[in-house]
A and B are shown apart, each in its own frame.
Chain A
Amino acid sequence: MTGPPVRSGDAPLEIVFEDVSKFYGEVLGVNRVTLTIRPGITSLVGPNGAGKSTLMSLMTGLLRPTNGRVRVLGRPPYDAELMRQVGYCTQHDSFPPGLTGRRFVESALALHGMPRSEARRRAGEALERVGLTGAADRRIGGYSKGMRQRVRLAHTIAHDPLITVLDEPLNGLDPMARAEVIALLRDKAASGGFVIVSSHILHEVDALSDRIVILDGGCVMADGEIHTVRGEIRAHPLQVLIRCNRPDLLAASVLAQDHVVEVKMHADRRGLLVATRDADRFYLLLNRVALEDGIGIESVTPADDDVHAVYRYLVGGDGEPS
C-alpha cells in the first residue's frame, strides 16, 4: 500500500469556512464565520476566547461545526486521507508521558502509516531541523520549555504536511529559536504549503504573515493582507511620519487637501505626522509637493499601518492580545 495523492487535480487549494458556528453547550466558540484561507502564512489574531483555537480545531477535524460547513482541499476536515496532509501543533504543553523526543515524533509518523524505518529516518530529520538531535533520546519531561516547543514543532512537520496549523508556536522560544522557527515556517509557505498560526506576539505576526484574520468574540473582525485591512478602516485615518528638511512648508501644502485630517509637527521640527483618509492620494500629493517646493524628504513611514494598529482599532485595548 502506498500513500494516495493528496488531492485530485481539480480539488480547490483552499480551506473554506461557510457560515460556520460552533457552540460548546451554551458557550460560543465561533459565530457565523465565513472565510477562505489559501496557501501562504495566515495568522489568527485575537484576545483569549476570540475563537482562534476553535477555528484551528475545526479545520483539523478535531471539532465538528454546530452549523455551517468546513472544507479543506474540498474535503471534510475529518477525512482520514486529508488528515495525513495536516500537521497540528496544539497550544497546550502536552505530551503523552514518559516518551523521549524521538519516540514522540516516531509515534506520530507511525500513526500516519509510515513504516518503522521511514518513521525513524523522518523523525531524525525533523528533530535535526528544529535543532534537537542532541536531546532526541532524552525524555521530554526533562526538556526546557523551549525544547518542548521545538519537539512539538518537529512532531507537527515530520510527515511534511501540506497544511501546518500551529497554535502559539513561538511561545517559550528564545529570540534565536524564534527566528529559526519563523524561517522554517517561511520555508514551508514558500514550498506552497498552508501555514496557519495563532500568535499574541503581534510584531512577529506582522513580520511573518502574508495575511491576518482578526477574531473577537467568536467573530471574524477582518481578514486579508495587513495593509489592505488597514486601508479599509475608515474610522481611523492612516498616519504617516515624514522626515524632511522643511516640515512647515510641507504642512501648509498638505493641510489644504480635503483627505488630510490632521498634521502634527514633530518635536525636533524635522518631521511631520500626517493623518489622511486616502493614502494613495496622499502619496501622490507628497511626490508633487516635494518636487514643486524643493523639499528634501529623508523618509516616509506609515505610523499605524501594522497589525498592532489594526488590532487596536478593531478589537480595542492596547494593541496586544492577552
Chain B
Amino acid sequence: MAVADRTWKPYAGPLTRPRWRFLVLPRHAWQEVFASRMFGLFFALCFFVPVICAGLIYIRHNVSALAALNVVPTSLPEINARMFLAALTLQAQFGFLLAFLVGPAIVSSDLRNNALPLYLSRPLSRGEYVLGKFCVLAILLSAISWAPFLLLFALQSALADPGWIAANARIAPAILASSLAWLVFLSLLTLALSAWMRRAATARLMMVFVYIVLAGLGNAANKVLDTRWGDLLDIVKVYKTIWAGAFGLGDVADLPVAAAWAMLGGFSGLSLLLLWRKVRAAEVVR
C-alpha cells in the first residue's frame, strides 16, 4: 500500500460552485481598486448623470415640487427616447474614463509580474481567467450604464401614465442592448491593450490612439476618397449609430446601423483574439 494512502488526507469540506469561481478575480480586483479614495470619489461622480435624470423624472411628476420650484412641466426636457439617448451618450464619457483608469492595469500587471502561472496552475482555465478579468471592467461599467438607466426607466414607468410605457416600450431593451454592446467592446479593447502593452501607461496612450487617431484616419479617408465609410473607423460615431438605431432614432445616425454593428462586432472579436493570444501560462521564446 502506498504511503499516501496511510497519512495524506485531501480537503473534503464544502466547495464553492466551479461555475462561478472566476468571480474570485473581480472580487479581489475591486478590493484593490476601491482601496483608493480618489477612485471611490470618481466612481460616485459617475452617478451624477443618473441622479440628475432621476431628479428630473421625479420633479416632472411631482406637482408640489414643480410649484415649489416655480417651474412649468413644459419647460423641462421631455422624458422620452431622445432624453435617454442623450443621457446615455453623456454617461459613456464617464464610462470611458472609468475604463481608462481601471482597465489598463488589469491584465498587464499579471503579465508583467509573471503571475499567470499562479492562476492557471489552479483549477482556473484560460477562458475563466479572461472571463474573470473581463468582469472586473464589465460589471463596473454595467453599474454605471444599463443598471441605473433601467432603474430610471422603471421610475418613469411607475410615475407616468400607462400610455407613456406603450409609446416608449423599446427604451428598456434599447438601453440594455446599446449599453451591453458598448461595454463589451470597451472592456475587450481595454483588456487587449492591457495585455499587449504590458504597461498601464502605454495601454492608456493606446486607448486614446484607438479613439482619436483612428477617427482622424477615418476623417482623412472620407476627404480623400469622398466617402462616408471612413466614419466606421470613428468608434464614437459607431457607438452613436448603434445607439440611435436601438432607440429608434435613425435621424441621429451617421452610418448604416448594420454596418456599425458589424464594425463593433469586428473590433470586439479582434480585441478578444488579441487578448486570447497573450493570455498564456508560458511565453513562447524565440
- Choose, from B11-19, B73-81, B93-101, B182-190, the stretch at the interface: B11-19
**B13 CB contacts on chain A under 8 angstroms:** 2-3, 114-115, 118
Residue A1, interface by CB 8 Å: yes
Residue A302, interface by CB 8 Å: no
> Contact string, B1-41, partner A, CB cutoff 8 A, digits 1/0?
01111111011111111100100100110011001000000
Q: Which of A95, A99, A115 contacts B16 (CB 8 A)?
A: A115
- Choose, from B114-122, B218-226, B235-243, the stretch at the interface: B114-122
> Contact string, A96-112, partner B, CB cutoff 8 A, digits 1/0?
11110001000110111
Q: Are B12 and A3 in contact (CB under 8 A)?
A: yes
Residue B110, interface by CB 8 Å: yes
A88 to B120, CA, bound (A): 10
User: 4 additional contacts, CB 8 Å, given A63-B281, A95-B118, A191-B8?
Assistant: A25-B284, A63-B282, A88-B117, A98-B32
Residue B109, interface by CB 8 Å: yes
Q: Are B117 and A160 in contact (CB under 8 A)?
A: no
A107 to B281, CA, bound (A): 18
Q: What distance in Å separates the Cβ of B186 from its nearest Cβ neighbour in chain A?
A: 23
Q: Are A5 and B24 in contact (CB under 8 A)?
A: no
Q: Which of B7, B21, B114, B285 contacts A113 (CB 8 A)?
A: B21
Residue B70, interface by CB 8 Å: no
Q: Are B113 and A96 in contact (CB under 8 A)?
A: yes
**A113 CB contacts on chain B under 8 angstroms:** 15-16, 18, 21, 123
> Contact string, A20-37, partner B, CB cutoff 8 A, digits 1/0?
000011110000000000
Residue A296, interface by CB 8 Å: no
> Number of A interface residues, CB 8 Å?
50
A96-B115, A111-B24, A113-B16 as given contacts; A160 in contact with B11, CB under 8 Å: yes
Which residues of A does B touch, CB under 8 Å?
Answer: 1-3, 5-6, 13, 24-27, 39, 54, 57, 60-63, 80-81, 83-86, 88, 90, 92, 94-99, 103, 107-108, 110-115, 118, 155, 159-160, 162, 190-193
A110 to B27, CA, bound (A): 11
A200 to B237, CA, bound (A): 58
A97-B109, A97-B113, A114-B13 as given contacts; A155 in contact with B2, CB under 8 Å: no
**B24 CB contacts on chain A under 8 angstroms:** 107, 110-111
Q: Are A111 and B119 in contact (CB under 8 A)?
A: yes
A83-B122, A113-B15, A191-B8 as given contacts; A27 in contact with B115, CB under 8 Å: no
Q: What distance in Å separates the Cβ of B271 from its nearest Cβ neighbour in chain A?
A: 22
Q: Are A5 and B123 in contact (CB under 8 A)?
A: no
Q: Are A94 and B123 in contact (CB under 8 A)?
A: no
Q: Which of B4, B105, B113 contacts A162 (CB 8 A)?
A: B4
- In the complex, which of the residues B14, B32, B123 has the most CB atoms of chain A within 10 Å of its own CB atom? B123
Q: Are B10 and A5 in contact (CB under 8 A)?
A: yes
A26-B286, A88-B121 as given contacts; A192 in contact with B11, CB under 8 Å: no
Q: Are B285 and A24 in contact (CB under 8 A)?
A: yes
**A159 CB contacts on chain B under 8 angstroms:** 11
Residue pairs across A and B with Cβ atoms less than 8 A apart, 25 shown, are A25-B284, A25-B286, A26-B286, A27-B286, A39-B4, A54-B282, A57-B281, A80-B123, A84-B10, A85-B10, A88-B121, A92-B114, A94-B113, A94-B114, A94-B115, A96-B113, A96-B118, A103-B31, A111-B21, A114-B15, A115-B15, A159-B11, A160-B10, A162-B10, A193-B8
Q: Are A96 and B109 in contact (CB under 8 A)?
A: yes
A94 to B12, CA, bound (A): 30
